[in-house]
Amino acid sequence: MAPSKDYWQGKIALITGGSSGIGFAIAQSLAAQGTSVWVLARGVEGLKSALESVNCRENQHCGMISADVTDWDQVSAAVAQVETEVGVPDLVINSAGVAHPGYFQDLEIEIFHWMTEVNYYGTVYVCKAVLPGMVARGSGQIVNISSGAAFIGRFGYSAYAPTKYALQGFSDVLRAELKPLGIDVSIVFPPDTDTPQLKYEKELQPPETKALSGIANLISPNWDGRATLFTPAQVADMILPKIEQRKYMILPGFEMKMLYWLSRLVGSGIYPILDWLIARAQRNLQRGD
Ligand SMILES: NC(=O)c1ccc[n+]([C@@H]2O[C@H](COP(=O)([O-])OP(=O)(O)OC[C@H]3O[C@@H](n4cnc5c(N)ncnc54)[C@H](OP(=O)(O)O)[C@@H]3O)[C@@H](O)[C@H]2O)c1
């Protein structure tokens, strides 16, 4: 389902991580519907090429801001700049994120700080900075991008998964507090999506993670262990209509819905299943299968 022009035309969107991957695809799709899109990331070259590709028309007031979401001063200055130049954003997408998998005992402590600062505090800072304007206006939408790693602790993701669990707790509270103020919050759990982040992750994943992903893929419509890898544009197309409907939990694709409901229905029964799957994966790896 495509996002609708009637809804998005004339709106202002601020998208962190808008220079790449899922954030960029959302920026591109919104710009095509007539939204004034502002992309935020650190790298200026990536931002320039993203802004050029989103191809805004003259009556759209699009822009880019180089800022680090882990720095509160940079985030508040960035939001102030958007508000001065175009107005209070109607939509904020928190897509800036990083993932660095590995065995817990091999990951340096700095990796844990890095993941937490970008994925969790980066989102908190942006929400905090946009809120006064949204509250004064009495409307707005905030969308936080989480991950399926927040459903069950994913093997190899001890630094990343907790930051996405934290986003769920944060978004749950924000949803309840902001709804009476006219502001809607959504949380998105994207499936595996072909982006630079996923390529980086795949180079670092322990073999057990890869083996478990193969098993998880057995519940995919392929039924054969082949991963369904979505393009960022497909994911943006699945997310935007749900944001339009102001849905809170957004689970794009069949696997994410299955994983979510499976993890909820099985409850703590998931842990012996996980242990069995990990032991099986390790036996297969030892045998060289
Ligand atoms: N790809 C997947 O399969 C997948 C699955 C589930 C969830 N997710 C989540 O979806 C979101 C987007 O991921 P993606 O795969 O699209 O990633 P991506 O293509 O690597 O893009 C990440 C974006 O975040 C920006 N960024 C990173 N650190 C930043 C910082 N400190 N300050 C400001 N911007 C920063 C990057 O630009 P600069 O480096 O220039 O700053 C880039 O624009 C992330 O939250 C990720 O965890 C992805």
For every one of its 289 residues, what pLDDT tens digit does the chain have, with 9 covering 90 and above?
666 888 999 999 999 999 999 999 999 999 999 999 999 999 999 999 999 999 899 899 999 999 999 999 999 999 999 999 999 999 999 999 999 999 999 999 999 999 999 999 999 999 999 999 999 999 999 999 999 999 888 999 999 999 999 999 999 999 999 999 999 999 999 999 999 999 999 999 999 998 887 655 555 555 445 567 999 999 999 999 999 999 999 999 998 998 899 888 999 998 888 888 889 888 988 887 6
Q: Which amino acid would we find at residue 203?
A: E
Give dist(CA 147, CA 169) in Å, integer. 13
Residue having the nearest C-alpha atom to atom 14 of ligand 1: 21
Three-state SS sequence of 84-152: HHCCCCCEEEECCCCCCCECHHHCCHHHHHHHHHHHHHHHHHHHHHHHHHHHHHCCEEEEEECCHHHCC
Tens-place pLDDT, residues 112-164: 999 999 999 999 999 999 999 999 999 999 999 999 999 888 999 999 999 99
Residue with tokens 């007539």: 34
Q: What are phi and psi of 154, to 5 degrees?
A: -80, 130
Which pTM does this prediction carry?
A: 0.95
In the reported structure, the alpha carbon of residue 285 is separated from the centroid of ligand 1 by a whole-number distance in angstroms of 31
| Residue 159 per-residue DSSP state | T
- Give the residue, out of 75, 98, 204, 230, with the most ligand 1 atoms within 8 A of its beta carbon, to mutate for a pocket test: 98
Question: Which numbered atom of ligand 1 lies nearest the CA of 18?
Answer: 43
- Look up 146 and say whether it is catalytic: yes
Domains of the chain: 5-204+229-256 (3.40.50.720)
- Look up 202 and say whether it is catalytic: no
Question: Which numbered atom of ligand 1 lies nearest the CA of 99?
Answer: 47
Residue having the nearest C-alpha atom to atom 23 of ligand 1: 17
Q: Any long-range contacts for 77-80 (C-beta under 8 Å, 24+ apart)?
A: 78/40, 78/129, 79/14, 79/126, 79/129, 79/130, 79/133, 80/129
Q: Is 186 in the pocket of ligand 1 (CB under 6 A)?
A: no
Instruction: Pull the structure tokens for residue 108.
Output: 């340096």
In the reported structure, the alpha carbon of residue 177 is separated from the centroid of ligand 1 by a whole-number distance in angstroms of 27
Buried b or exposed e, range 154-177, using 16+ CB within 10 angstroms: bbbbbbbbbbbbbbbebbeebbee
Looking at 36, 146, 147, 186, which residue is catalytic?
A: 146
In the reported structure, the alpha carbon of residue 282 is separated from the centroid of ligand 1 by a whole-number distance in angstroms of 30
- Look up 186 and say whether it is catalytic: no
- Give the residue, out of 95, 229, 250, with the most ligand 1 atoms within 8 A of its beta carbon, to mutate for a pocket test: 95
